[in-house]
Amino acid sequence: MGFTIIEMAVALFVIALLLGSLLVPLTTQVEQRQISETQKTLDNIKEALIGHAVAKGYLPCPDRTSGGAGTANDTANDGVEDYNTGTGVCFSTTATGNLPWVTLGLGETDLWGNRFRYRVHSNYAQRAPATVFSLSTLTNLTVTATSGGTLLTAASPDGAVAVVISHGKNGYGAMNSFTNTARPAPTSADELDNSAGGTSYTSRTPTAFASPCGGAGQPLCEFDDVMIWLGKYSLFNRMVAAGKLP
pLDDT tens track for 183-225: 999 988 899 999 999 999 999 988 877 666 655 555 567 899 9
User: How is residue 123 annotated by DSSP?
Assistant: G
User: How is residue 224 annotated by DSSP?
Assistant: -
Q: Please check whether residue 225 lies inside any domain of the structure.
A: yes
Total number of domains in the chain: 1
Residue 180 has pLDDT above 60, yes or no: yes
pLDDT of 33 reads 86
Q: Please check whether residue 246 lies inside any domain of the structure.
A: no
Q: Please check whether residue 210 lies inside any domain of the structure.
A: yes
Q: Where are the alpha helices (DSSP H) in the chain?
A: 5-56, 101-104, 189-195, 232-241
Backbone angles phi and psi of 88, in degrees to 5: 80, 15
Q: Angle 93-97-101 (CA atoms, 0-180°, nearest 5)? A: 135
Distance CA 108, CA 162 (A): 18
Highest mean pLDDT among 11-20, 53-62, 89-98, 198-207: 53-62
The 10s digit of each residue's pLDDT in 102-130 is: 999 999 999 999 999 999 999 999 999 99
Q: Please check whether residue 99 lies inside any domain of the structure.
A: yes
Prediction pTM value: 0.85
Residue 46 vs residue 13, higher pLDDT: 46
Instruction: State the DSSP H helix or E strand holding residue 117, giving kind and residue range, or none if neither.
Output: strand 117-120
The letter for the amino acid at 114 is: N
Between 232-241 and 5-56, two packed helices, what is the crossing angle to 10 degrees? 50
User: Quick check: 144 and 151 in contact, CB under 8 A?
Assistant: yes
Q: Please check whether residue 37 lies inside any domain of the structure.
A: yes
* Position 1 confidence tier, pLDDT thresholds 50, 70, 90: very low
Residue 100 has pLDDT above 90, yes or no: yes
pLDDT of 94 reads 83
> Which of 2-6, 36-40, 130-134 shows the lowest per-residue confidence on average (mean pLDDT)?
2-6
pLDDT of 25 reads 63
Distance CA 143, CA 66 (A): 26
Question: For the stretch 128-167, what's the b/e string if a residue is b when 16 or more beta carbons lie within 10 angstroms of its beta carbon?
Answer: eebeebeeebebebbbbeebeeeebbbeeeebbbbbbbbb
Q: How many CB atoms lie within 10 A of CB 75?
A: 16
Residue 24 has pLDDT above 70, yes or no: no
Domain that holds residue 211: 5-241
What distances in angstroms separate CA 6 from CA 1, 9, 11, 14, 200, one per listed residue? 14, 5, 9, 12, 59
Q: Please check whether residue 187 lies inside any domain of the structure.
A: yes
% of the chain surpassing 90 pLDDT: 72
* Position 147 confidence tier, pLDDT thresholds 50, 70, 90: confident
